[in-house]
Structures are given as structure tokens and as C-alpha cells.
């Protein structure tokens, strides 16, 4: 998508639509830099996925062992995740565990973004 009317514009419109009907929107991204950029462009606070789920930093060698950890549920009606190409399968697993039944999950990404550093990209382009 273009720089001017791309992902940011769409995210801002989604936020406006849901907030206009009284829904609580939560914003997050896989990295601190992406979360900061999301906050700056939308005017709404965004957190890293780790901070949102209160899971801290997970050590690489512990990922397989801790896949079944309990996750604190996300307090929101809509969760918007930006930079999805950088989310690996483990982080996506934790994120999905934190979503209440009925919560809307909006995944935003760009095929030209950097891939995840963890095992396998979760977000993949399908033609």
C-alpha cells in the first residue's frame, strides 16, 4: 500500500468505526519500534505484543517448553496487530490465547516488511 493512504489510514478508520459504536480498541505490534510508530501515527497507545500479554521476553530455548503457558486475557473488544509479517508461530500462539471469545482480531501487514526472526513466518502472501 502507498505511504499516504495505506495501512495507517485503514487502521485509523477501523479505530474510528469501532470507537464510534462504543468498542474498546487495543493496538499492538511485535516490536517496540513498530508499537511506537503505531502510537505516533494513530494517536492511540500501542504496546508490543509481549507487553500487552505481560509475558516478558521469552528465551529462544524455552519457546517450545513454554508454549502452554497461561496468558492474561486482553481487555478489549477489538485487537489490531500491525507488522504481522514479523510475528512467528510462537508469538501468534500466545496472542490467540489472550483473545476472548467474541473479540475481533484485525491483522495488518505488508509483504515488503521484514520476516519474523523466530520459527516460520505466520503471515504469508498468498497469490
Q: What are the pLDDT digits (tens) for 68-110?
A: 667 889 999 999 999 988 888 888 999 999 999 999 999 998 7
Count of structural domains, the chain:
1
Q: Mean pLDDT throughout 59-72?
A: 60
Beta bridge partners of 74: none
42: how many CB neighbours lie within 10 A of its CB? 19
> Domain limits at 48?
7-107
Residue 116 lies in a domain: no
Computed over every residue of the chain, the mean pLDDT equals 82
Q: What are the pLDDT digits (tens) for 36-49?
A: 999 999 999 999 99
CATH number at residue 73: 3.40.50.300
Helix, strand, coil percent values for the chain (each to nearest 5): 35, 15, 50
| Spatial separation of the C-alpha atoms in residues 50 and 58, rounded to whole Å | 9
Amino acid at each position: 500500500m502507498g505511504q499516504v493512504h495505506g495501512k495507517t489510514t485503514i487502521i485509523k478508520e477501523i479505530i474510528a468505526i469501532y470507537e464510534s459504536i462504543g468498542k474498546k480498541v487495543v493496538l499492538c505490534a511485535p516490536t517496540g519500534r513498530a508499537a511506537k510508530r503505531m502510537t505516533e501515527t494513530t494517536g492511540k497507545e500501542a504496546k508490543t505484543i509481549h507487553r500487552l500479554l505481560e509475558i516478558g521476553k521469552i528465551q529462544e530455548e524455552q519457546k517450545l517448553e513454554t508454549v502452554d503457558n497461561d496468558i492474561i486475557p486482553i481487555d478489549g473488544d477489538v485487537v489490531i496487530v500491525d507488522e504481522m509479517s514479523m510475528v512467528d508461530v510462537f508469538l501468534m500462539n500466545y496472542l490467540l490465547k489472550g483473545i476472548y471469545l467474541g473479540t475481533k482480531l484485525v491483522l495488518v501487514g505488508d509483504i515488503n516488511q521484514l520476516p519474523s526472526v523466530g520459527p516460520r513466518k505466520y503471515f504469508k502472501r498468498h497469490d
